[in-house]
């Protein structure tokens, strides 16, 4: 897998999963400027991507096709200030926060992408990962396309632009492009007079619609709607294309949805609920917070153990720990202090001690765990490099026993649909028993969420279990292409 040194260093620090990005689009029918609203929406989605971000806007009453944009490396409040926000004048716009799962992390790969072509201008923000991006890219290259980035979002934008030349409108072009795309994609597309949202037929990644006054919003999570004071309207369905215009409001033409007969079974990414989503978000009608509470309850039922305190590894482990406590009656407590100024990725200092890297992000409250039997809940174990360090930190703080419970099943296979689960050889659960993993991380006991519990977390919604079972909703690529094309 091709990765630059920076990404390698970041992965050495914390054994976290990574999401790719969050998208946000808005069209204000009253003609008000939307850049500041996008800015705050991206703030709410910052957990979905912390390497780069961007905003692109257009004035629907101004010169047709004129798009103003600004993007850069870093967090939202690092990339934007009063000056560059004030220069983004327009009543329609899209925004994006990004984490790259492979390849170079560069400004050129930051989104939204702005594409000028014969029919006008497109602004596009994408969350997900195409498994046939190499083939689609090669097809475009043979037709003379010149690529400015290494992200498959550009491949999507090109195919929409190419389809638009022979279709009646941009939403039809999106539908035509979707016929070629394989994989996970939630899209927000800005044309000169329309805001369009599209979700892949499996619904891997979330996408929803909101409304505030005369403005309509399309975004990854409902928490972004709450942040800007908008009301939730509904989720965009798997395979659905939604077009928002002043004259027709929200329009969904099922004849343009892909596939039109709804024949493909949806398969939402379960880690949106276990880890990626903010706990105050709802996805496809399911509370992220409640799904994590349920995971903790199930762990208490299926993997009980006598202990004095239940603690969560921040942040996504906290709700599951509370669920375990509620079910078991064992007191819930706080054992970790998290450095709020450290994101899911940060620059690794030159040092020989890898343990100190984890301590930059987490520290143990000795008073909370000293002399106690501790149940520690985390959302996952990927490579195991973080788990053993945290277990060691708890023991150093005086914990008598450390029992680890994981609110997901063991990772046995890579993900090709937007979650940064590495190849099998890097997964601690590959070719190891739970007892062998327990010995490696140094816990007194170890328990995972049972596979059959997953559907109960999300009220029976169809989900993707590929990283646990190796059975994917659609055939994965023959080779691991995640290092060849940036997502």
pLDDT in tens, the chain (487 residues): 233 333 333 333 445 665 569 999 999 999 999 999 999 999 999 999 988 999 999 999 988 889 999 999 999 999 999 999 999 999 999 999 998 654 456 778 889 999 988 888 999 999 999 999 889 898 888 877 778 888 888 999 999 999 999 999 999 999 999 999 999 999 999 999 999 999 999 999 999 999 999 999 999 999 999 999 999 999 999 999 999 999 999 999 766 666 655 556 889 999 999 999 999 999 999 999 999 999 999 999 999 999 999 999 998 899 999 999 999 999 999 999 988 766 544 444 444 444 466 777 889 999 999 999 999 999 999 988 889 999 999 999 999 999 999 999 999 999 998 887 778 888 999 999 999 999 999 999 999 999 999 999 999 999 999 999 999 999 888 765 444 333 3
Say which DSSP state 476 is in. P
DSSP state of 48: G
Q: How far apart are CA 412 and CA 397, in angstroms?
A: 32
Tokens of 422: 């590495």
Q: Which residues pair with 187 in a beta bridge?
A: 126, 198
Which two three-digit tokens encode residue 388?
A: 């053993």
What are the structure tokens assigned to 330, written together? Answer: 């064992």
- 105 half-sphere exposure, CB direction, 13 A CA radius: 26
CB-based contact 400:375 (threshold 8 Å): no
Quick check: 102 and 482 in contact, CB under 8 A? yes
Q: How far is CA 324 from the centre of its chain?
A: 25
Please report the beta strands in 380-459, taking only residues with DSSP state E, as ranges in sequence order. Answer: 401-406, 445-448
Are β-strands 194-199 and 215-219 bridged in parallel, bridged antiparallel, or unpaired? unpaired
**Model-level pTM?**
0.90
d(CA 145, CA 166): 18
Question: Which residues on adjacent β-strands are paired with residue 55?
Answer: 70, 95
Q: Which residues are catalytic?
A: 21
Matching residue, tokens 């004035």 = 59
């Amino acid at each position: 897998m091709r990765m630059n040194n920076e990404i390698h260093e970041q992965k050495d620090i914390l054994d976290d999963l990574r999401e790719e990005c969050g998208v946000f689009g808005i069209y204000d029918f009253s003609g008000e400027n939307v850049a500041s609203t996008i800015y705050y929406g991206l703030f709410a989605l910052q957990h979905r991507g912390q390497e780069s971000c961007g905003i692109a806007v257009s004035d629907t009453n101004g010169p047709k096709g004129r798009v103003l944009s600004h993007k850069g490396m870093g967090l939202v409040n690092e990339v934007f200030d009063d000056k560059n926000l004030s220069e983004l004048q327009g009543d329609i716009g899209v925004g994006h926060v990004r984490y790259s799962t492979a390849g170079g992390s560069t400004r050129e790969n930051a989104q939204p992408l702005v594409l000028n072509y014969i029919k006008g201008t497109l602004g596009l923000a994408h969350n997900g990962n195409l498994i046939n991006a190499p083939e689609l890219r090669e097809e475009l290259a043979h037709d003379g396309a010149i690529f400015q980035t290494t992200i498959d979002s550009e491949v999507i934008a090109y195919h929409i632009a190419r389809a638009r030349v022979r279709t009646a409108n941009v939403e039809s072009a999106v539908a035509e492009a979707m016929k070629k795309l394989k994989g996970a994609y939630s899209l927000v597309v800005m044309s000169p007079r329309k805001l369009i949202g599209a979700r892949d037929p499996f619904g891997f990644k979330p996408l929803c619609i909101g409304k505030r006054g005369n403005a309509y919003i399309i975004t990854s999570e409902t928490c972004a709607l709450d942040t800007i004071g908008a009301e939730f309207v509904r989720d965009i369905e798997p395979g659905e294309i939604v077009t928002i215009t002043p004259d027709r409001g929200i329009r969904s033409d099922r004849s343009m949805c892909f596939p039109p007969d709804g024949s493909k079974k949806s398969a939402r990414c379960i880690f949106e609920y276990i880890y990626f989503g903010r706990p105050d978000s709802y996805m496809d009608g399911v509370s992220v917070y409640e799904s994590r509470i349920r995971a903790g309850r199930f762990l208490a039922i299926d993997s009980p153990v006598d202990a004095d305190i239940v603690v969560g590894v921040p942040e996504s482990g906290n709700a599951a720990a509370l669920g375990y406590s509620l079910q078991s009656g064992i007191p819930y407590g706080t054992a970790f202090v998290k450095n709020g100024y450290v994101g899911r990725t940060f620059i690794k200092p030159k040092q020989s001690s890898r343990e100190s890297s984890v301590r930059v992000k987490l520290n143990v409250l000795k008073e909370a765990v000293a002399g106690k039997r501790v149940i520690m809940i985390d959302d996952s174990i990927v490579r195991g490099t973080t788990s053993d360090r945290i277990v060691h930190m708890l023991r150093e703080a005086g914990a008598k026993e450390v029992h680890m419970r994981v609110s997901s099943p063991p990772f046995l296979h890579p993900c090709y649909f937007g979650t940064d689960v590495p190849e099998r050889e890097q997964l601690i659960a590959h070719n190891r028993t739970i007892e062998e993993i327990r010995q490696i991380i140094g816990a007194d006991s170890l328990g995972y969420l049972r596979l059959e519990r997953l559907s109960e977390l999300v009220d029976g919604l169809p989900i993707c279990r590929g990283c646990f079972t190796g059975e994917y909703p659609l055939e994965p690529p023959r080779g691991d292409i995640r290092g060849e094309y940036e997502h």
